[in-house]
Amino acid sequence: MLRLLRTMWTIRAFEEKVSELFGRREVHGLLHLSIGQEAVAAGACAALRTTDRVVSGHRPHGHAIAKGVDIASLFAELAGRETGCCRGKGGSMHLAAPTTGFVTATGIVGGNVALALGVAFACKEREKQEVAAVFFGDGAGQSGAFHESLNIAALWKLPLLFICENNGYAEFTPLSAHTPISQLARHAETYGIPSATVDGNDVLAVRTAISDAAARARAGGGPSFIECMTYRLRGHYEGDPAKYRELSELSDWKTKDPIRRFAATLVKKGTCTHEQMRAVEAEARASVEAAAQKASTGAWPSVDEVTTLVYAG
Amino acid sequence: MREITYAEAKVEALRDVMRADRRVCLIGSYFLGLSPRRVLLEDIRKEFPGRVFDPPISEGGVCGLAVGAAMAGLRPIVDVTTASFLFHGFPQVINEAANVRYMSGGQLSAPVVFHILHGLRGGGAAQHSHSPQAMLWNTPGLEIALPASPRDVKGLLAEAVHSDNPTIVVDHARLFEVKGEVPEELFSIPFGRAEVKRNGRDVTIVASSLMVQRALEAAGTAVAEGIDAEVVDLRTLVPLDKQTVLTSIAKTGRLVVVDECHRSCGVAAEIAALAAEEGFSQLKAPVKRVATLDVPVPFSQPLERYIEPTAEKILATIREIMR
């Protein structure tokens, strides 16, 4: 239980630190934070094995951290350093650390779903008991790649977990402006894929749903669609004034903060004390500080690197 | 050495790479288009049950699937069929396959082969006749191979599968009946090696894919007029064998580039730029291009014929440059 809390706090602390560094211009570029959505990443990855493969999208920090990617290498990547997980060539939207099972993130909404389809295809072809999971937002649900992927995954019974983080907004507009469907899990029905819509701010509910789906995939039952209803407490990107939503909506969702909610539940159940809760947060923040510090001293990549790794060899 | 058709050599290559490497699978199976010879592919289907997949018409999903599967360790060969359909897979080819190695700092690779049939086919009109190789060439991270003979299709296809990079095999249905000598065993032709398909001393014709056959035809006719043309087959655009092109220009002093892409920003334009930048002092005459006109491909036969880079047009251009 504390592990789940620790993961969520690490994600929160990481992204708050990223935001701070962005404000000081120590990290640059397009940054999409998942503050408020930590329960989805933490709950889902806790239900997966180390050997399972995860593909993420343009809001990937939480998924990478929950899958076990070293946070110092993530900070260094966001800061464009040679010590970054992608040697400074990928940045926030294109994190990759395949040895941890975090295959890649990609900046193209919907494109990541099709890539994950292939990762699941490879899992099946190699006859390993591995599953693939892909995280995407509600905005991806209107893309062709999404629907093509659902169909093929169902048709070929691929071990793929479609994990939709429905945070209600596709970039700057509410989901209602994009589709008449309020719950994207309904699309799964069309393709005959088992689905569940869960409270995405309830880390245990997410873990249970993903655990069931992973077991079904491992048993040869094919794909599942898990829609996690959640909310991003920040704008679409860092610097987004987010004037497209009501302040009351934001404050409502702050009361459903997945971390505080889970911590309160644990204390109420007597699983741990207030002090232990605070200690988990403090440890997470300390590890993030240390990682950020380490990243800031990393070397910049040499311009000689610019032409390397375009092709093999 | 035995002589077989281009279509037979191509199917042999697919069969042999599948025998040699269990990671290879076929996603889509119209490698011979609608040619009557497509029955040859049935042998592959029989020999490799479970390794030939017939996907739904979902180019984006299928290309993405192949890239993801390649990233996860397989070596898929995707048949996108008609090149015009590749545009539906472009997000996955251009935005994902071409970039993953670079963006991941070398942690990932996407050793996938995308197979397309390009060019004018007779009545394909504007939406079934594209030659997207120049568009693809503008995307660092992809390799592009264009076979023009039975031997080359076997060797280049095998090399495409061995390559650790995403590769586009740009093929042409009008090559399928060409006959030529092909080794029986599996072999690879290294990428980045153009081939002088005909030696000559007066003018260099640089071409690729079907245009190599057209160039050879024009060069054959030109002999009667006392013109000795050299034909250079690029074989791969990426990597590009600049040296063979420049050596030939140095020898002949004249360059005609033949290309089935539309004229503007096509393959011919890039080869002309290479000659201008690195071979200018060797040139005795301005470079000439023979390419498809800059219009959508029309349906009607005389109109399609009018825009096409034919052997007659190549011959006329050779005469002009020799004047």
CA dihedral A164, A108, B129, B13 (to 10 degrees): -80
- pLDDT under 50: residue ranges of chain A: none
CB contact under 8 A, B106 and A151: no
Q: Which residue in chain A is spatially nearest to B140 when comparing CA positions?
A: A310
Half-sphere exposure of residue A54, counting CA atoms within 13 Å on the CB side?
33
Rounded to 5 degrees, what angle do the CA atoms A140, B90, A187 make? Answer: 25
CB contact under 8 A, B108 and A310: no
CB A115 within 8 A of CB A104: yes
What is the predicted pLDDT for the residue at A1? 82
Please indicate if any CB of chain A lies within 8 Å of the CB of B139: no
CB A195 within 8 A of CB A141: no
Please indicate if any CB of chain A lies within 8 Å of the CB of B168: no
Q: Hey, what CATH topology would domain B195-322 get?
A: Rossmann fold (3.40.50)
Q: Which CATH class is domain B3-181?
A: alpha beta
Please indicate if any CB of chain B lies within 8 Å of the CB of A275: no
DSSP state of A101: T
Listed by number, the residues of chain A in 147-166 with a beta carbon closer than 8 Å to a beta carbon of chain B are 148-149, 151-152, 155-156
Cβ-count burial of A179 within 10 angstroms (0-12 exposed, 13-18 middle, 19+ buried)?
Answer: middle
From A17's Cα to the closest Cα of chain B, the distance in A is 23
Please indicate if any CB of chain B lies within 8 Å of the CB of A105: no
Listed by number, the residues of chain B in 21-40 with a beta carbon closer than 8 Å to a beta carbon of chain A are 25
From A145's Cα to the closest Cα of chain B, the distance in A is 5
Domain with CATH 3.40.50.920 in chain B: 195-322
What is the predicted pLDDT for the residue at A242? 87
CB contact under 8 A, B73 and A122: yes
- pLDDT under 50: residue ranges of chain B: none
Domain with CATH 3.40.50.970 in chain B: 3-181
Domains in chain A: boundaries: 2-295
Please indicate if any CB of chain B lies within 8 Å of the CB of A309: yes
> What is the Cα–Cα distance from A106 to A85, expressed in whole angstroms?
14
What is the predicted pLDDT for the residue at A127? 77
What is the predicted pLDDT for the residue at A182? 85
Task: Write out the two tokens for B292.
Answer: 């498809």
The 3-state secondary structure of chain B, one letter per residue? CCEEEHHHHHHHHHHHHHHHCCCEEEECCCCCCCCHHHHHHHHHHHHCCCCEECCCCCHHHHHHHHHHHHHCCCEEEEEEEEHHHHHHCHHHHHHHHCCHHHHCCCCCCCCCEEEEECCCCCCCHHHCCCCCHHHHHCCCCCEEECCCCHHHHHHHHHHHHHCCCCEEEEECHHHCCCEEECCCCCCCCCCCCCEEEECCCCEEEEECCHHHHHHHHHHHHHHHHCCCEEEEECCEEECCCHHHHHHHHHHHCCEEEEEEEECCCCHHHHHHHHHHHHCHHHCCCCCEEEEECCCCCCCCHHHHHHHCCCHHHHHHHHHHHHC
What is the predicted pLDDT for the residue at A125? 84
Q: Which residue in chain A is spatially nearest to B164 when comparing CA positions?
A: A312
Closest CA to B213 of B269, B153, B158, B157: B153
Q: Which chain B residues are within 8 Å of A152, Cβ to Cβ? A: 55-56, 58, 61-62, 65
> What is the Cα–Cα distance from B96 to B92, expressed in whole angstroms?
5
Please indicate if any CB of chain A lies within 8 Å of the CB of B138: no
Listed by number, the residues of chain A in 117-136 with a beta carbon closer than 8 Å to a beta carbon of chain B are 117-123, 125-126
Q: What is the pLDDT of residues B166-216, one digit of tens each?
A: 999 999 999 999 999 999 999 999 999 999 999 999 999 999 999 999 999
Collapse the DSSP code of A196 into the 3-class scheme (helix H, G, I; strand E, B; otherwise coil) and give the result: strand
Identify the helix (H) or strand (E) that includes residue A262. Answer: helix A258-269
Q: Is B128 a catalytic residue?
A: yes
From A310's Cα to the closest Cα of chain B, the distance in A is 5
What is the predicted pLDDT for the residue at B256? 98
Q: Which chain B residues are within 8 Å of A125, Cβ to Cβ? A: 25, 69, 74
CB A35 within 8 A of CB A240: no
CB contact under 8 A, B58 and A148: yes
> What is the Cα–Cα distance from A223 to A213, expressed in whole angstroms?
8
Q: Which chain B residues are within 8 Å of A126, Cβ to Cβ? A: 73-74
Interface test with B, best of A125, A130, A151, A158 (most B CBs within 10 A): A125
What is the predicted pLDDT for the residue at A255? 94
Task: Write out the two tokens for B216.
Answer: 């050879």
Predicted-complex ipTM score: 0.93
What is the predicted pLDDT for the residue at A222? 97
CB B216 within 8 A of CB B198: yes
Q: How many CB pairs under 8 A join A and B?
A: 149
What is the predicted pLDDT for the residue at A238? 87
State the sign of the Cα–Cα–Cα–Cα dihedral B126, B132, B134, B135: positive
From A256's Cα to the closest Cα of chain B, the distance in A is 35
Residues with Cβ within 8 Å of residue B150, at least 6 apart in sequence: B3, B4, B5, B6, B8, B9, B178, B179, B180, B181, B182
CATH superfamily of A2-295: Thiamin diphosphate (ThDP)-binding fold, Pyr/PP domains (3.40.50.970)
B118, B128, B162, B172: the catalytic one is B128
CB A253 within 8 A of CB A166: no
